[in-house]
Amino acid sequence: MLGILDLLGTIGGNIFSLPGILGLALGMMTRNWILAAAMGGIVGVAETFVFAGFNMAEVHMFDLSIAVLVGILAGSLGCVIRHKGATV
């Protein structure tokens, strides 16, 4: 069973790692919401596979799903920042 501290650590680690930071940066590069979310999700998948050593046996679905979710949210947030910053 996954503990609450493991859950919070996984979410926080992904926010401050590639899916959060690179997803935000890639989202700020486009005004298309779907493209921004897709790029963030791709970064989440890539980060999980890179840190697992490209070994499918080491990839846990929970870690992958959290990384993809954080990447999608970060990409969408980057797109929101671009939209709001362009109107000022």
Domain boundaries, the chain: 14-86
- Residue pair 19/39 in contact (Cβ under 8 Å)? The answer is no
Q: Residues of the chain with pLDDT > 90: what percent? A: 76
pLDDT at 86: 67
Binning pLDDT at 50, 70 and 90, where does residue 85 land? confident
pLDDT tens digits along 33-56:
999 999 999 999 999 999 999 998
Position 87 pLDDT exceeds 80: no
Q: What percent of the chain has pLDDT over 70?
A: 95
Q: Is 14:44 a contact under the CB 8 Å cutoff?
A: yes
Regarding pTM above 0.75, the answer is: yes
Please report which helix (H) or strand (E) contains residue 82, including its range. helix 61-86
